[in-house]
C-alpha cells in the first residue's frame, strides 16, 4: 500500500490499515525513526483519572481525613 505526502506534510493512511488497526478520527499516533524508516505506533489510550487512581496509600477513611 502506498500514500503520497502532500505539501503540508500530511499522509493518508490507507483505509484497510485504519480498519485493521482501529485507527479512527482523533486516534493519537506516535512517530519515531529507526534506521532510516519512519515507525508509527498507535499511542496507548490514557485515562487521566485511571492513571492516578490508588496512588495514595492512606490507612484512614475519608471521614477521618477531613477531621
Dihedrals phi, psi of 65, to nearest 5 degrees: -70, -40
**Spans in the chain with pLDDT lower than 50:** none
pLDDT at 33: 97
Alpha carbon distance 41, 28 (integer Å):
9
The model's pTM is 0.60
Amino acid at each position: 500500500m502506498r500514500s503520497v505526502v502532500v505539501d503540508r506534510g500530511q499522509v493518508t493512511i490507507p483505509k484497510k490499515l485504519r480498519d485493521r488497526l482501529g485507527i479512527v478520527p482523533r486516534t493519537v499516533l506516535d512517530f519515531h525513526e529507526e534506521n532510516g524508516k519512519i515507525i508509527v505506533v498507535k499511542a496507548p489510550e490514557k485515562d487521566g483519572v485511571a492513571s492516578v487512581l490508588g496512588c495514595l496509600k492512606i490507612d484512614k477513611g475519608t471521614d477521618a481525613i477531613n477531621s
